[in-house]
Amino acid sequence: MIDIKLIRENKDLVKENIKKKFQDKKLPLVDEVYELDIKCREAKGKGDELRALKNEKSALIGTLMREGKKEEAEKVKAEVSKYGDEIERLGKEEEQLRKKIHADMMVIPNIMDSSVPIGEDDSKNVELEKFGEPIIPSFEVPHHADICARLNGLDKESAGRTSGNGFYYLMGDVARLHSAMLSYARDFMIDKGFTYCIPPFMIRSDVVNGVMSFEEMDAMMYKIEGEDLYLIGTSEHSMIGKFQGQIIKEEELPITLTSYSPCFRKEVGAHGIEERGLYRVHQFEKQEMVVLCKPEDGMKFYDKMWKYTVEFFRSLNVPVRTLECCSGDLADLKVKSCDVEAFSPRQNKYFEVGSCSILGDAQARRLGIRMKTKNGNEYVTTLNNTVLATPRGLIAFLENNVNEDGSVNIPEALRPYMGGIEKLVPKD
């Protein structure tokens, strides 16, 4: 949610931002909010004037009664009563206008950073930099499901019986590897100075509305039937929600957190949800970074955070690249975002394994998260970034560390979490 002052003072800027996001259907909302805001402030102004007049007249009633001017006092009482009715009407009008303004403002996208490339969809995202040399081995790299199968590590057939498409059982060494990667990701971020946290895995609707757009919520979130609770799609949701309605001391910023959670996503409209393997699933696990900071420190943390993800995957022998999200691929609350993509030697292309975003004060404004400064209370800036989302991260690891005989090398960084094992060996 943007500051309404932007619409009052610079409607053209807000409209131009909407056009750059190719969301022209939202343009009428800007003029609507502008007009509603005028009416709302007029109603408030009239109400304030009448309240002041009512208080003045009410004081006069007491004076007249003391002076024995009862008849005159009764006339003033009748006048005051009319003021009360009008004040109540204006109050209701103001409340209705505020609700409509709020609803519209929740849909108007955040102002993007000027560096965001302009494009209609993700096909116009821009490659920024590659890290590590992509290597396609002399042998044909198997599908990750086949790598897991040779290690007796994947059972989607049973998961289909218990839970349906998009679910899986990880078994044996593959399950251990999956957990080892998450444990390593946790300690990797703790070593970077982030505080480890395990948050609630369900959140209420007011938190959901605070951290994401309505369109994202409908496409992603599972709702608990009969309760005001949603399963989280990422721990960012509950981690930002932790600070809802809070005023943070300026000296306590930045707040740097790294959180573990299972994640649940409907993947509405997703292609290939029934495909074999683990690329697109309804349930996965994630190690996340979340930062709350002063606005002037936002971009500094943004650059730090995506670089941590690059460093993490490079330590696991996975080549990666960064891809800047263009305007049409940028979620409405985001100011700027980039994806970290891992190289797939099987497909000779990159695929997304993480995403880093700065949201300005959009989430803070929706959730009422402010910092106490010498100049008063101001909204904080929020950021989030994926350290590791797996099993997708597991896929990248397996493809880049598998050998021709089906064994899988364990890089040195991961060995302490695998009992010192240097290689996983097929069971057949």
Outline where DSSP puts E strands in 281-326: 283-293, 320-324
d(CA 72, CA 69): 6
pLDDT > 90: what percent of the chain? 82
Average pLDDT over residues 368-391: 95
pLDDT tier, 173 (very low <50, low <70, confident <90, very high otherwise) = very high
Q: What's the N-to-C CA distance of the chain in angstroms?
A: 56
d(CA 83, CA 308): 62
Which H or E run contains 126?
Answer: strand 126-131
Quote the DSSP letter at residue 4.
H
Two structure tokens written together for 257: 């957190």
d(CA 344, CA 339): 15
pLDDT of residue 268: 57
pLDDT in tens, 40-89: 999 999 999 888 887 777 777 777 777 777 777 777 777 777 878 888 89
d(CA 290, CA 147): 33
pLDDT in tens, 15-34: 999 999 999 999 999 999 99
d(CA 329, CA 212): 15
Give the torsion through C-alpha atoms of 123, 129, 131, 132, to 10 deg. 80
> CB of 422 within 8 A of CB of 409?
yes
pLDDT of residue 294: 97
> CB of 315 within 8 A of CB of 309?
no
Two structure tokens written together for 403: 């050998």
pLDDT > 70: what percent of the chain? 98
Domains and CATH numbers, the chain: 4-105 (1.10.287.40), 122-424 (3.30.930.10)
